[in-house]
């Protein structure tokens, strides 16, 4: 079977072990894989629908993430290869987060209000982006995925356990 660029990828659901592994940096030998993966990640993210997706969520242990908040319902895709937060504010912001790997589960998460992220673009250029609000939270969320961290790791153990039990129950009901 040949894969097409618009073929959807399977999104891994917690507690899948791949979601807890730290992704490895992308190197020159990964160029072809990343070139093929990025359009499929965007297609999968848009279809889900979501605003961010990290490669580990689709079974690739590479430091690659895509984000698109679709301002004014127009695509503004951002593809980040080997992203790293190089600056963050001491001011914090709390907002409700969800995750394609924890479908239907939401919780308030507190993160730095403003970040600067450095990454490589798909064409290999180095880029930096200052982000706050929803974009800042989304980028931090996706970088967490690259480090094997889920948004539920930022909430109390009690809330996390409740969420994970509810997710397991929902997934079991879905399979029946």
- The 10s digit of each residue's pLDDT in 25-75 is 999 999 999 999 999 999 999 999 999 999 999 999 999 999 999 999 999
Dihedral pair phi/psi, residue 17, rounded to 5°: -60, -35
Q: How confident is the model at residue 11 (pLDDT cuts 50, 70, 90)?
A: very high
Half-sphere exposure of 172 (CA within 13 A, CB side): 6
Rounded to two decimals, the pTM is: 0.94
Q: What is the pLDDT of residue 6?
A: 62
Q: Which of 79, 84, 29, 87 is nearest to 55 (CA)?
A: 79
142 is catalytic: yes
The domains of the chain, with CATH numbers, are 17-175 (3.90.45.10)
Question: What pLDDT sits at residue 5?
Answer: 54
Residues 6+ apart with CB under 8 A from 110: 92, 93, 94, 154
pLDDT over 90 percentage in the chain: 93
Q: What is the mean pLDDT of residues 91-97?
A: 98
pLDDT of residue 110 exceeding 50, the answer is: yes
Q: Is the pLDDT of residue 2 over 50?
A: no
Alpha-carbon separation of residue 50 from 11, 24, 30, 90 (angstroms): 11, 24, 25, 28
pLDDT at site 176: 83
Structure tokens of 119? 């990454």
């Amino acid at each position: 079977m040949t894969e097409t660029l618009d073929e959807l990828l399977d999104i891994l659901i917690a507690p899948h072990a791949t979601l807890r592994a730290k992704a490895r940096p992308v190197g020159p030998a990964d160029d072809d894989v990343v070139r093929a993966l990025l359009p499929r990640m965007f297609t999968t993210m848009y279809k889900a629908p979501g605003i961010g997706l990290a490669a580990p969520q689709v079974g690739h242990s590479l430091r690659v993430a895509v984000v698109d908040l679709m301002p004014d319902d127009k695509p503004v895709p951002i593809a980040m290869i080997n992203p790293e937060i190089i600056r963050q504010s001491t001011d914090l912001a709390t907002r409700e987060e969800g995750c394609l790997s924890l479908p239907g589960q939401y919780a308030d998460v507190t993160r730095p209000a403003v970040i600067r992220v450095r990454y490589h673009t798909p064409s290999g250029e180095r880029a930096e982006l200052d982000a706050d609000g929803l974009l800042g939270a989304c980028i931090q969320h996706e970088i967490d995925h690259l480090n094997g961290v889920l948004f539920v790791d930022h909430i109390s153990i009690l809330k996390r356990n409740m969420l994970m039990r509810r997710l397991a129950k929902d997934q079991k009901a879905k399979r029946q």
